[in-house]
Structure 1
Amino acid sequence: MFFVLNNAYKTNVMGTLNMLGLAKRIGAKFLLTSTSEVYGDPLEHPQKETYWGHVNPTGVRSCYDEGKRTAETLAMDYHRAADVEVRIARIFNSYGPRMCIDDGRVVSNFVAQALRRQPMTVYGDGKQTRSFQYVSDLVDGLVTLMESEHVGPFNLGNPGEFTMLELAEVVKEIVDPSATIEFKPNTADDPHKRRPDITKANEFLNWEPKVSLREGLPLMVNDFRKRVFEDKK
């Protein structure tokens, strides 16, 4: 367990440091794909880029939260001190075809469980919220950011906010109306709310997501259905 968590922090910090050094040497533009996790369990809702976050530095999630926060610090240090051209995107929950079926993310978990006729696992009371953005919207945002003159950070996410129970109901509608839900104890430091304020991205990048959850999720389900049932052959 320690080895896995330690690697998460090392990848975010040492990996970012190595790549920034390379970008400096060859004069490359550097994209840091940061995350909404830098906001921790936010006290501000929705979250603006000016919000500094509410993160437990010694918690079980801190290797990822603090790893990405440190990566942003390194990117800005290289930008200011070494004139590296950096771009920082804070990515909120994303989903779409070709995701790993068992990657542990809530959308892929729910879809895979419903397709396999297993109960969908909800941790805690299911009232915690997330915002889900379709992959094509994210790609469009990243490309637009890289082609712009703006450093960031920019929130890239869909402001549509769903509780875990609401997400489960959408998955049931699309996959299997008879699907059931199984409640389990919540994980430590699980953020209660998460929704991006994308005013900055809209103003400076002219970007906003176009695909709603009910439009994008069936495309993911079709891909998962093919792969889940292929695995059974």
Structure 2
Amino acid sequence: MISVRDLRKEFRGTKAVDRVSFDVAAGRITGFLGPNGAGKTTTLRMLLGLIRPTAGTARLWGHAYAELPEPTRRVGVGLDGEAFVGGRTGRGHLLCYAPAAGCGPERVERLLAEAGLEGAGDRPVFGYSTGMKQRLSLATALLGDPELLILDEPSNGLDPEGMLWLRQFLRAFAASGRTVLVSSHLLGEMEQTVDDVLLMHHGRLLCAEPLGSLLETGESLESAFMRLTQAENGARV
């Protein structure tokens, strides 16, 4: 479904993404994980055609994102949980984007309910908490009822109840045969959510494998990340 090969991006001589290659399988939740500044967002933006790579390719179903017919029906994207017009209501925001996604007011109402925002749909977004904005961003990504969700740090600002809600939603989405690529720096939370792991550090991909294969006996995902970064640092010495 997603194929990235030898992807590289330099900004004024600085390597933000350095020879990254991976695949994302259908029907699974893949965690694109690592600390802030690891190159995750830059990689996602290249995958979606928002940044031109220095080298390499990033494909969805074998095509560049810009080549996909009706992309909002195939890919739901949430890259910025703050990308709203503050004075617009939550319902108004979704209604603004609904025509591009080929859906009507009925789906907007359904998504407000699914995101837990039915009581806040008529409130201006500037009064939303960070967690409510994250829920609205996810609802926007779902407007076209896509096959694939690509989410960048969707758990930022969520309280424990919101974290649980997001985890359950993503599991149900994948259980329906659809696919999630989700980036996060919260390794402990993602350990409870993802099937497959892509670990990034300093622009390089440390590993790409199922969560169960990555973790050694009794090991947490955070411990595995430390083990791999130490091995990488040792290899560079």
TM range (shorter): under 0.3
TM, length-normalised to structure 1: 0.23
Which has a greater percent of strand? 2
Which has a greater percent of helix? 1
TM, length-normalised to structure 2: 0.23
